[in-house]
Structure 1
Amino acid sequence: MTAGLAATMQSLGYSTTVYKPIQTNGIERNGFMQSPDLTYVKTIDPYINTHFSYLYKSDLEPLIASELENEPIDIELISREYGRISSTSDCTLLDGDCGILSPIAPAVQTADLVKKLQLPLLFVVTPREDSINDTLLSIYTAQEKGLEIRGVVINNIKDDCPKNLLNAIPRVIEEYTNIKILGLISHIEGKISPEDLITSILNGVDIESIFNVKIEKLEL
């Protein structure tokens, strides 16, 4: 989803950066560690700027990975780097793949970092039997923490997804939280081309509501 949103904004003429402050499950290639998520973004559009602050080989939670690899996470450093990065792009997406309550440093959770950076949240949900429960818990937690929630996108909808489940997830989320569903994205089989990904985002997602801007280019 992050790659698709970034590629779409870049295609619309907005200089875009994807910042992943903490990447676990790093991949070693030719003696160097790489971020698999940011590498994928670059395969979609090499002109998108990418940046990470911490890269761990372990696939465990950030706090545990940082302890195992003896590289503690400093949210002040992340805050400074985010400020620098966001000042040089029209559009900056911060990509996080751990839960809102995931610990990232002693006495610091993901929610604390989001609040410090004053970022709105976009929850991306894959339709499963437990999606409603997990999404409601995440939304309620974010609201209790005083975080802004921009909306929810239902992603990776496969053809065999039960229709009653697909209909229920957005209905229940909106009914119980008053948080808007801002997109429905179907699963794309095989290798995804940049064109297919961008088309999927433009056709299935409310870009203007996600970024809280009026994109004049969409009126052309």
Structure 2
Amino acid sequence: MKTYFVTGTDTDAGKTFSSCALLHAAGQLGFKTLTHKPVAAGCEQTEKGLRNSDATSLMAAMNQPEEYEMVNPIALEPPIAPHIAAQEAGTQLSVTRSAGFARGIMMARADLLLIEGAGGWRVPLNSRETLADLAKNLKQPVILVVGMKLGCINHALLTAEAIKADGLEIAGWIANQIDPDMNRYKENLATLAHMIQAPLLAEIPYTENSDWKAAAAHIPEAAVKYLLGSA
């Protein structure tokens, strides 16, 4: 199974949206897909317990059956930084615990597994560890989602630099247009394509209502096969 850690340039860069589109595109090509969101803040209380909308969207996009608790083992209610939400809930986040959950789903049978972080690359899990430490522990290549808006070049280059400094490979990046009126969009895209030393997997235009099935049409078949190692 090919496994990738998905990170973004910032909160709301479109990690979940892009991951859903990629999962759906892979599924349309006949690949078996799974996802994992180690920790999610901003969950709602339901009759089945806390549920996160990003996690449920990811589950809708993947095509292999799996329990919610395997997809999102740590669900926190307040829509704030995970380490602060955990403190308020009286629990402790750690790389060791999160890596254990991730390795559990990595044993499942599928072709593609996307492990989605929260926020950006350096989001804290506790006073000493960040989600970057989880990615380093898992030793899987990274897919970087760039939220295309003013300021994205700086955010993207700093994130790419941090990923490489942590010793991880950037398998590719996705340009996700979150500002429909972004000034000089094409010029920004060209700059990023030149300066990020990794393949541009897909360019997803601004999509009304976060329709990831429609966005999947913008994921090239060649990009999916490249990620699955069948190009």
TM bin (shorter chain) = 0.7 to 0.9
* Distance (whole Å) between structure 1 residues aligned to residue 206 and residue 158 of structure 2: 25
- Structure 2 residue identity aligned to 1:41: L
Taking structure 1 as reference, are residues 146 and 28 closer, same or farther at Cα in structure 2, changes over 3 Å only? same
1:75-154 map, 5 Å: 75-88=95-108, 89-154=110-175
Tell me the secondary structure at the aligned position of residue 126 of structure 1.
strand
Taking structure 1 as reference, are residues 22 and 180 closer, same or farther at Cα in structure 2, changes over 3 Å only? same
Whether 1:67 aligns to 2:84 is no
TM-score by length of 1: 0.84
Residue 229 of structure 2 corresponds to which residue in structure 1? 213
Percent identity over paired residues: 20
Taking structure 1 as reference, are residues 112 and 91 closer, same or farther at Cα in structure 2, changes over 3 Å only? same
Do 1:15 and 1:48's aligned partners in 2 also have CA atoms closer than 8 Å? no
* Distance (whole Å) between structure 1 residues aligned to residue 192 and residue 61 of structure 2: 31
Taking structure 1 as reference, are residues 39 and 72 closer, same or farther at Cα in structure 2, changes over 3 Å only? same
Residue 172 of structure 1 corresponds to which residue in structure 2? 191
Residue 12 of structure 2 corresponds to which residue in structure 1? none
- Quote the RMSD (CA, aligned, Å): 2.4
Structure 2 unaligned runs (5+)? 1-17
Residue 161 of structure 1 corresponds to which residue in structure 2? 182
- Structure 1 residue identity aligned to 2:230: K
Structure 1 unaligned runs (5+)? 216-220
Do 1:24 and 1:56's aligned partners in 2 also have CA atoms closer than 8 Å? yes
* Distance (whole Å) between structure 2 residues aligned to residue 119 and residue 185 of structure 1: 24
**Higher Cα radius of gyration:** 1
Structure 1, residues 158-177: CA drift from partner, whole Å, max 9, x if none?
A: 65333x2x222232223334
- Structure 1 residue identity aligned to 2:101: E
The count of residues paired between Structure 1 and Structure 2 equals: 210
